[in-house]
Structure 1
Amino acid sequence: MREKYDGVLRGPMTTSLRLWLRLLSCTTIIEKRLRRRFAEHFETTLPRFDVLAALDHHDGLTMGELSREILVSNGNVTAVVRQLQRQLLVDVRASPVDRRISIVTLTADGRRHFAELATAYQQWVGELLDAIADDDQRELFDLLAEVKSSIETVEAEEAPTAAVTPARV
C-alpha cells in the first residue's frame, strides 16, 4: 500500500511524520471503501450515516450540537439534515425554550434505517480489519488512545487563555 505523499516530501522523515502518513493512508482507504459501500448498498452517504449515528446516540440535538458532535460546519449539517428530513428519517422542530433553535430527532423510520446501516457498517469495518489479530487490535486501540491524549494535551496548551483585565481602582 502506498503512503499518502509517497516520494513527494523531500529529506529524511521523522518517525512521527511517517506514523502520521500511515494513519492518514489507512483512514483514507477505509473511508473511501465505506463511502462506496454506503452508496452502492444503501444509496446514502457517510455524512448522512454520521448524522443518524449522532442522533441515535442522543435523544435529540440542536443543529449546533449536531455540528460539534460530528465535527462539521453548521452549513454542512443543515444540508444533510434537510436531505434526511425529506426522506422522513429525521424530524426537525423548534425548541420549546427558544423558537429560533431547531432540535433534530430520529423518526421511527430513521431508527430502523440507522440500525440497518450500523449493522452493515460494523460488518464492513470488521472485514477490513479482520486480518489483524484481536490482541493486536486492542494494543493498537490503546496506542491510538495515547496519540489522541497527546493531541488533546497539545491543543489545550495552544488554546488561547481568557485575557485577564486588571481591575481599575
Structure 2
Amino acid sequence: MQSERSKDRLRLWLKVLKATRAVEAEIRENLRQDFATTLPRFDVMAALSRHPDGLKMSELSGVLRVSNGNVTGIVERLVDDGHVRREKVPGDRRASRVLLTPEGLAEFGRQAAAHEGWIDQMFDAVPEDAVHTLSEALEQVAQRLDSEGSDT
C-alpha cells in the first residue's frame, strides 16, 4: 500500500509536469509570434552564447542532450539566417565548430531579454520564498537523478 507521502509526491510530479508543459507551450508561441523562431533554435543559440569560442556539433548535441541529427537541421537554418557560422576544426577534416555571428549574438540578446520577461511574468504569482524553496528542491531531484545515472 502506498503511503500518503508517496501520493503527495506523485501529485507534485503531476503538477510540475502540467506547469512545465503550459510554460513551454507559452514560450513556444511567444517565440513564434514575436521572433518567427522556434524553441529548438532558441536553445541552440542559448548554448552557443555560453560558449563564445563555439562548439563542435557533437559537443553542441551533448550540451543540449539531443542527437547530432536533431542539431544539424537547426544549425543549417541558423546558418541560412546569418545567426551562426561554421568553422573548420584544425586537424580534423570532418569536424566543424559552430559559433554565433555578431548578428546572431544580437538577435539572441533580444530573444533572451524577452524570454526572461515572459518567465518573470508567468511566475510573478509565486512568492519569493517559494521560488527559492522550489528551485532548491527541483535542483536536488535533478542532482540525484544525474548522479544515479552516472553510476550505471
Tell me how far apart the structure 2 counterparts of residues 86 and 101 of structure 1 sit (CA, whole Å).
19
Q: CA deviation at 1:71?
A: 1.5
Q: Structure 2 stretches of 5 or more lacking a match?
A: none
Q: CA RMSD in A?
A: 1.4
Flag the structure with higher helix content: 2
Q: Which residue matches 2:111?
A: 117
Secondary structure of 2:111's counterpart equals helix
Could you list the per-position Cα deviations for residues 20-65 of structure 1 after superposition, in whole angstroms to 9, with x for gaps in the alignment?
2221111111000000000000000000000000000002000011
* Per-residue deviation, residues 61-85 of structure 1 (Å, max 9, x unmatched): 0001101111211111000000000
Which residue of 31, 35, 44 maps to 1:42? Answer: 35
Q: After TM superposition, what 4+ stretches of structure 1 lie above 3 angstroms from structure 2?
A: none
How far apart, in 2, do the equivalents of 1:132 and 1:122 lie?
Answer: 15
Question: SS of the residue aligned with 1:101?
Answer: strand
Provide the residue aligned with 1:106 in structure 2: 100
What's 1:31 paired with?
Answer: 24
One-letter identity of the residue aligned with 1:100: R
Aligned residues: 147
Could you tell me the TM-score, scaled by structure 2's length? 0.91
- The counterpart of 1:96, out of the listed 90, 103, 108, is 90
Name whichever of 142-151 and 16-25 sits farther off: 16-25
Deviation of 1:97 (Å)? 2.2
Match of 2:12 in 1: 19
* Aligned counterpart for 1:53 among listed residues 46, 49, 59: 46
- Residue of structure 2 aligned with 1:155, choices 118, 141, 149: 149
Q: TM-score, normalised by structure 1?
A: 0.83
